Amino acid sequence: MIVKSYEINKLNFLKNNFYLFYGENEGFKNQVIKNKLEKRFNTNIFRYEESEILTNKNSFLEKNYTKSFFEDQKLIIISRSTDKIKDVIESIIEKKISDITIVLNSSILDKKSKLRSLFEKGKNTICIPFYADNIKTLNEQISIFFKDKNIPISQETINLLSSRCNGDRQNLKNELDKIENYLKNKTKISRDEIIKITNLAENYSVSELIDNCLAKNQKKTVNILNENNFSIDDCILIVRTLLIKSKRIHEIKKQENLSKNIDSIISSYKPTIFWKDKEIVKQQAILWSEKNIKNLIYEINNIELLIKKNSTNSLNILSDFIITQTN
């Protein structure tokens, strides 16, 4: 059954167990998965790449064919889904298994797609296309973000932000996350500050700098610091991004110490770790012990205080600190 994206709020997600979300608007898809589905399942959520399932097809099917009396309803999210997984999903649909909900997240699927056809024609399957957002919908998201924080923002600045997002609210979310990291206890932000923060995405991003730092990739970290035109004004954003990502590693290490598999921890982590980031996050978690990452979090808080006291030399202080962590 086909459901248009504007009809989502009218859809009863309790009535159906099989969903196909396709299209280029990753942000909108992730928003629906989080707000309409994940909240129902708490921690009983399993994430897969299509390739993982195709490699271990029989194991996946056996695990989901049998209903356990001791297991609650579970949500299975399969990323990067294509026609290759159609037969696997079709066999599960035919079994009429009631204790699982499956969401397939696909990119653009043309009209000839067998997977798309299966979900469009099925009576108990939901197919939702997620096309690019227009300027109006992106502007609404931006207005809500700043209104919730009681921070004034001009229409000109709203238009500037939405123009950087290429019609995808995931891109917008990434930009708003940067702004939120920067804001912290601020009650206002200027247009120039926003331009500076979002301009960081045009070269190497702050996120990429921190990911390589925590993965102890010294050469790449030094290259990013040398090649990117970071300024004193960027220091707070950089140090807070380092803090957020360090706390994520700390949480993963705590769960790992409870004898959980690191791959499953990363797959089910909240907020969701995107597929392209999973490998470097795993590398970070392997390289850092729980004790060392806890000490780093403590040091980051001290560094933030230090760079605030020494604003003129803050970039050098922070750069030295970041490079030291790659040893």
- Which pair of structure tokens corresponds to residue 287? 């390289």
* Domain co-membership, 196 together with 228: no
CA distances in angstroms from 54 to 22, 48, 80, listed in the order given: 19, 10, 12
For residue 200, what pLDDT is reported?
A: 40
Provide the domain count of the chain: 3
Answer for the pair 291, 274: CB distance below 8 angstroms, yes or no. no
* Domain co-membership, 111 together with 21: yes
What is the CB neighbour count within 10 angstroms for residue 223? Answer: 14
Which among 238, 146, 239 has a CA at the least distance from the CA of 197?
Answer: 238
Domain region containing 159: 135-202
* Domain co-membership, 171 together with 156: yes
Distance (Å, whole) CA 240 – CA 59: 41
Which pTM does this prediction carry? Answer: 0.55
Which of 129, 151, 173 is the C-terminal boundary of a domain? 129
* Domain co-membership, 17 together with 82: yes
Q: At what angle do helices 155-163 and 169-183 cross, to 10 degrees?
A: 120
Answer for the pair 168, 26: CB distance below 8 angstroms, yes or no. yes
* Domain co-membership, 100 together with 12: yes
* Domain co-membership, 60 together with 122: yes
Domain at 226, CATH number: 1.20.272.10
Amino acid sitting at position 187: T
- Which pair of structure tokens corresponds to residue 140? 């609404």
Question: Tokens 């750069």 correspond to what residue?
Answer: 319
What is the CB neighbour count within 10 angstroms for residue 58? Answer: 7
Which among 108, 77, 102 has a CA at the least distance from the CA of 273?
Answer: 77
* Domain co-membership, 153 together with 192: yes
30's CB contacts (< 8 A; 6+ apart) are 170, 272
Domain at 17, CATH number: 3.40.50.300
* Domain co-membership, 36 together with 83: yes
Which of 129, 162, 177 is the C-terminal boundary of a domain? 129
Q: What is the pLDDT along the chain (327 residues), one digit of tens a residue?
A: 999 888 898 888 888 899 999 988 888 888 899 888 888 887 788 889 898 899 988 888 888 776 655 567 889 999 989 999 999 999 999 888 778 899 999 988 988 999 999 999 998 899 999 987 788 888 988 999 999 888 888 888 888 788 767 667 777 887 888 888 788 777 888 887 887 777 544 445 788 899 999 999 999 999 888 877 777 777 888 888 899 899 999 999 988 887 678 888 888 887 778 777 889 999 999 999 999 999 999 999 899 889 888 888 888 999 999 999 999
Which of 186, 202, 218 is the C-terminal boundary of a domain? 202
* Domain co-membership, 240 together with 315: yes
Answer for the pair 182, 216: CB distance below 8 angstroms, yes or no. no
- Which pair of structure tokens corresponds to residue 28? 């909108």
* Domain co-membership, 144 together with 259: no
* Domain co-membership, 186 together with 253: no
* Domain co-membership, 34 together with 72: yes
